[in-house]
Amino acid sequence: MRTCPSCGEENPERARFCLGCAEPLVEETPEREERKTVSVLFVDLVGFTSTSETADPEDVRALLRPYHARLREEIQRFGGTVEKFIGDAVMAVFGAPVAHEDDAERAVRAGLRILDSLEEMREQGIDLSVRAAVNTGEALVALSARPEQGESMAMGDVVNTASRLQGAAPVGSLVAGELTVRATSGVIDYEPLEPVTLKGKSSPVALWRALSARSRFGTDVDTRPRLPLVGRERELAMLQGAYGRAVHEATPQLVTIVGEPGIGKSRLVAELFSFVDSAPDLISWRQGRCLPYGEGISLWALGEIVKAQAGILESDSPEEAAKKLQAALAQLTEDPSDRRWLDAPLSGLVGAEIAADRAMERHESFAAWSRFIELIATDGPLVLVIEDLHWADDVLLDFLEHLAEWATDIPLLVVCTARPELYERRRAWAGGLRNATTISLVALLRDDTSRLLTALLDQHAVPADLVEAVLERSGGNPLYVEEFIRMLQDRGLLVREGRTLSVTLGEDLPLPESVAAIVAARLDTVDPERKALLQEAAVMGRVFWVGALEEMTGRDPGGVTEDLRELARKELVRRSRSSSVAGDTEYAFWHVLVRDVAYAQIPRGERATSHVKAAHWIERMAGARLSDHAELVVHHYEEALTLSRAAAARPPEIELSLRRALVLAAERAFRVDYARADAFFRRAAELIPTEDPERADVLLKLAETSELAGRGEEAKQLSRDAADAYRLQGDRLGEARALLQLAVIAARGGRTGQSKANIEDALELLEALPPSPELVRAYGTRVWVMLFQGQLEGTTEQGDRALALAQELGLAGEEAQCYMFRGLARVWGGDLAGLEDIEIALERWAELGNWEQVTITRVNLADCLWLAEGPAAGLEQCITAIAVAEEHGAVHEALWARAETLRMQFELGRWDETLATAQSLMEWDREHGPDPVGLVARTYAVWVHARTGATEAAVGMIPELLEFGRSSDDQQLLVPALVVAGVAALAAGRRDEAARLAEEATAQSPYWRMHFAAEAARVAVDAGRPDIAERYLDQLEPRLPRHRNAVLTAGAVFAEARGDLASAAEQFAQAAEDWGGYGFVLERGHALLGRGRCLLQLGDQLEGVSCVNSARSIFAELGARPLVAECDALLGDEAAQSA
């Protein structure tokens, strides 16, 4: 049964009309809606309510009927739609259901014409006053609405604001809102009024009174270009060539310049005018324009040409027009019969009085018009320009083809400008005419657009971000370039100071309303079904595929393909030469703005649905390679969710699909860009409910990326939350993974004891389960933490065990990590063959694309090379590691690599760089810490300050240094902090404090004590406690060059302290040589100074002074002023001067 929508009567399926009320039974079709920029005109009578209160209803109707009829006539004349009459008020919409690029202007002109009409009605005895307003903005438009039946067409704030602006308008005036004024200020004269407070608006609203419309269609305006011609040299040459043929061969030529709005058609005509005007011959130039709306406009362009020849003004009366036409004809021909024949067909074009006894046949009119043009051309070359031919009536098109075909032996050039729409209704325009030429204008090349932009701004150097933004958004359309610049200037985003230009751009360059209006009008020339297809394509993005549109629209492949071909013919889309999807045809939007405007017109609910369909197609198309397209899927689901939420909906299926796509995208990004992976995991975590079993996995991944981003505390809490979630689920493997993550975070944070406890807890879970990647990682991480604690014994064997298990399970990543751990254990134990293990690990991680581990491994390699070869070799690796980390967004790994450079920079004597690096790391630590990199940075900053004589700065940092150092049980952090704090305390004369710090260092790991043995021995001895130096050296077994040099120097210091000067001098000599080869500049200076002291006491003045002078040179170059002073004290004043 079919229910009648009018009366509710049930009707049989075969019924075409309702059996109850006789209304047609039509199939219900879904209501189509679009978001459109419209201009709303409100007109309301003033004081009519009180007048009509006491009037007879029939009198009221008699008064309102001609008023309503006149308003409807004026509104429709300018292409508007009367949406409703509300008593004595009328609302009209311009830009719906079909948009035009000048809808705002049409609305204002209609409003001004209504005001003029009321003056005319007063002369007829109908005395009415009105207020009127026009407001422009975005509205939701019901495309199938029937306003004549009371159905609303446009909805949105633009309507309400227009109504309220009308209430604020002065009586007898038309006011306009800001967007309306911005769109029409070039063609309408306005005066600003005081801003008004409107109901529902948080701040006063600006408004302007429309005074009058400027003449838009005049042809006597000087249009000489103010900018150089760019990128149209060949087209201009073709146009000039056609003119040359017309003049020199006396052969009429018809040239049609075709291109989208703003592409440069009028500019090319203006260039032709300049060319013709510069010629020595007397040439006639006549120009007319086809109008898009109004009455009696079918031959407007031809009429303008006749008026220009006769000198007829728009303000002339019919009688005056007739006289001027007669005078013009008398100048053209002396034959009275010729003049009489021409009079009637020409009078109709110019609005003159016609004294004719019959209607002219079409062929007669064509002949007369042609004769008139031939007469003009008889006196010299004639150029006729017909602009906007796409709006021309068929009669004018037929006449122009007639003129081109039949006019002979006259120097006539007819130039027409048109948009591609001309060929929609006239596919064979000028076809078959041998004297016809078509010049098709395409977008400017990037270089040409850049030249235009530079000329437009009168700048030799335009900001690169502005150039790129305008190039991308303008698509090579010159008008768009100018409108973008004008918009930026109007909004204060483009500031010129002398010859300097600065621009403030947001994430995207805004779209000027004028450009949006042009594109929207062009889209509305497309068949509705094809436009809907174009909008679906816009959801896909700049590039789309036939298969996607078939799936999204449910249409058959043949229909989609045919419509895309038609859209390509209209230069809205273009087919790609090759497709990135096998077996499918790829298209792209011809211009990004077409895509943007088409997309913006889709209502939010429909847009959300289309984004989901697009995501489903990508998922189906990608198949097993979905991770490669995950970010695109994320985009579509994220847009769908945002749009749904904006429409007060929250569909759980979209949230679920989005979060899974986010995880997939994050896992893929993790291989190349940790910051991006972190953002994806974070958004996924926000979407997952607390009770969801997948939440723990996402939290743990987010903990890993947070730690890499330098957010250690957040990473720790996320790992704990993940461990708790796994525990509640009974997932022991997952809980172990979380514990291992906590272990890594604790170790990197300098809490090796906590790290080891986490590892043991994880191993308790893992060893009760079958062998797994997590078990391998636990064994390997335990090796790593033991090394940090300085517990070298057994680490190589444990590394072997972890490596064997990784190889047994076929785990490539874990195997690479085990190679690194074992290599570290071997090198630190004195076996330099371990460097090969680290190189293998580096190679494997690079093959796997794990750039976090590449960075970590390279930093570890740098440390090993520092120990084995010296700071220069280590620094080279660190610099490479920093570059890799920064390229792939591994913030924390980049920070660690920078922290590692501190020891190398310091030892190489590059102390300015050391302080600069330390300062940047400390600033980061103050904002994001505390973090071990901050402790390392403070250690080396204090060391430089103490040795350069900045004692106050060094001592001031001691409390902070010790607080952070003692809070860490990581030996590689604590030992240097204690020793360097002792150096600073000693520099300040605080010998007891220095001795206590040296004593505290003595209690630490022997392995890490070796690194700083030389400096620690000097602190203890200079503090008067050689016994501490002796204990410090206890149990030290140096196996690497760095350690051997340090222990050798410390032994020399202790030997000197106990009075064994000869042995000390010999050891200092060896240390100076070894440190020189190794590259530790300061220690070489200390060794030379120590040898010099011993030799001077042994009576070897010559060699002793030489050693001290050499040391002094080193210290002076370093800027180590206290040590320079110590050398000077040994040498005496005379020796210091000679040095």
- Which of 751, 769, 787 is the last residue in one of the domains? 769
pLDDT at 552 over 90: yes
Q: So what's the pLDDT on residue 5?
A: 66
Q: So what's the pLDDT on residue 8?
A: 67
Distance, in Å, from the CA atom of 702 to the CA atom of 682, rounded to the nearest integer, reads: 6
Please, what is the average pLDDT of the chain?
87
* CATH assignment at residue 139: 3.30.70.1230
pLDDT at 71 over 80: yes
Distance, in Å, from the CA atom of 76 to the CA atom of 70, rounded to the nearest integer, reads: 10
Amino acid at 855: T
φ, ψ dihedrals at 411, nearest 5° = -80, 80
Which range of 279-288, 490-499, 530-539 scores highest in mean pLDDT? It is 530-539
Same domain (yes/no): 1003, 1019: yes
Q: What is the pLDDT of residues 747-767, one digit of tens each?
A: 777 787 888 889 889 889 988
The lowest-confidence range among 57-71, 749-763, 1060-1074, 1116-1130 is 57-71
The lowest-confidence range among 53-57, 156-160, 363-367, 937-941 is 53-57
Q: How much helix, strand and coil, in percent to the nearest 5, is found in the chain?
A: 65, 10, 25
Same domain (yes/no): 290, 165: no
The three-class DSSP label of residue 131 is strand
Calculate mean pLDDT across residues 570-582.
85
Calculate the CA dihedral of residues 738, 743, 745, 749 and round it to 10 degrees. 160
Q: So what's the pLDDT on residue 194?
A: 93
Domain membership of residue 1127 (yes or no) is yes
φ, ψ dihedrals at 591, nearest 5° = -140, 135
CA distances 931 to 754, 954, 1037, Å, are: 15, 20, 31
Domain count, the chain: 7
CA distances 499 to 459, 461, 462, 492, 496, Å, are: 7, 9, 10, 17, 7
pLDDT at 217 over 60: no
- Which of 769, 789, 820 is the last residue in one of the domains? 769
Distance, in Å, from the CA atom of 648 to the CA atom of 657, rounded to the nearest integer, reads: 19
pLDDT band at 590 (very low <50, low <70, confident <90, very high): confident
φ, ψ dihedrals at 256, nearest 5° = -110, 120
Same domain (yes/no): 347, 402: yes
* CATH assignment at residue 1134: 1.25.40.10
Same domain (yes/no): 238, 96: no
Global pTM?
A: 0.71
CA distances 21 to 2, 15, 28, 151, Å, are: 14, 12, 18, 21
Same domain (yes/no): 349, 322: yes
- Which of 635, 659, 683 is the last residue in one of the domains? 659
Same domain (yes/no): 636, 721: no
pLDDT at 1134 over 60: no
pLDDT band at 410 (very low <50, low <70, confident <90, very high): very high
Q: So what's the pLDDT on residue 972?
A: 83
Same domain (yes/no): 295, 184: no
Domain of 501, in residue numbers = 446-510
- Which of 107, 85, 111 is CA-nearest to residue 96? 107
Which range of 57-61, 390-394, 508-512 scores highest in mean pLDDT? It is 390-394
Domain membership of residue 517 (yes or no) is no
Q: So what's the pLDDT on residue 482?
A: 85
Is residue 147 within 8 Å of residue 135, measured between CB atoms?
A: no
Same domain (yes/no): 200, 339: no
Contacts 24+ apart (CB under 8 A), 572-578: 572/522, 572/523, 572/526, 572/534, 573/534, 573/537, 576/543
Same domain (yes/no): 420, 451: no
* CATH assignment at residue 413: 3.40.50.300
**H-type helices in 169-264, by residue range?**
178-184, 233-248
Q: What is the pLDDT of residues 249-294, one digit of tens each?
A: 999 999 999 998 889 999 999 999 999 988 877 889 999 999 887 6
If one compares 22 and 1053, the residue with the highest pLDDT of the two is: 1053
pLDDT band at 1047 (very low <50, low <70, confident <90, very high): very high
Q: So what's the pLDDT on residue 898?
A: 94
* CATH assignment at residue 611: 1.10.10.10
Calculate the CA dihedral of residues 802, 803, 808, 810 and round it to 10 degrees. 110
pLDDT band at 221 (very low <50, low <70, confident <90, very high): very low
Q: So what's the pLDDT on residue 506?
A: 62
pLDDT at 1108 over 90: yes
Domain membership of residue 776 (yes or no) is no
Whether the link from the prior residue into 463 is cis, omega within 30° of 0, is no
Query: H/E/C letters for each residue in 113-129?
Result: HHHHHHHHHHHCCCCCC
Q: So what's the pLDDT on residue 219?
A: 45
The lowest-confidence range among 5-14, 397-406, 488-497, 745-754 is 5-14
Same domain (yes/no): 255, 326: yes
**Which conformational region is residue 393 in: left (phi greater than 0), alpha (psi within -120 to 50 degrees), or beta?**
beta
pLDDT at 14 over 70: no
| The Cα angle at residue 496 between residues 491 and 498, in degrees rounded to 5 | 165
Calculate mean pLDDT across residues 115-123.
85
Same domain (yes/no): 177, 62: yes
pLDDT at 910 over 70: yes
- Which of 1050, 987, 95 is CA-nearest to residue 601? 95
pLDDT at 712 over 70: yes
Calculate mean pLDDT across residues 149-155.
82
Percent residues over pLDDT 70 in the chain: 93
Residue 17: DSSP 8-state: B
Domain membership of residue 875 (yes or no) is no
Q: So what's the pLDDT on residue 50?
A: 53
Percent residues over pLDDT 90 in the chain: 43
Helix (H) or strand (E) run with residue 1010 in it: helix 1006-1011
pLDDT at 628 over 90: no
Same domain (yes/no): 351, 245: yes
Domain membership of residue 249 (yes or no) is yes
Q: So what's the pLDDT on residue 1137?
A: 44
Is residue 768 within 8 Å of residue 732, measured between CB atoms?
A: yes
pLDDT at 505 over 70: no
pLDDT at 890 over 80: no
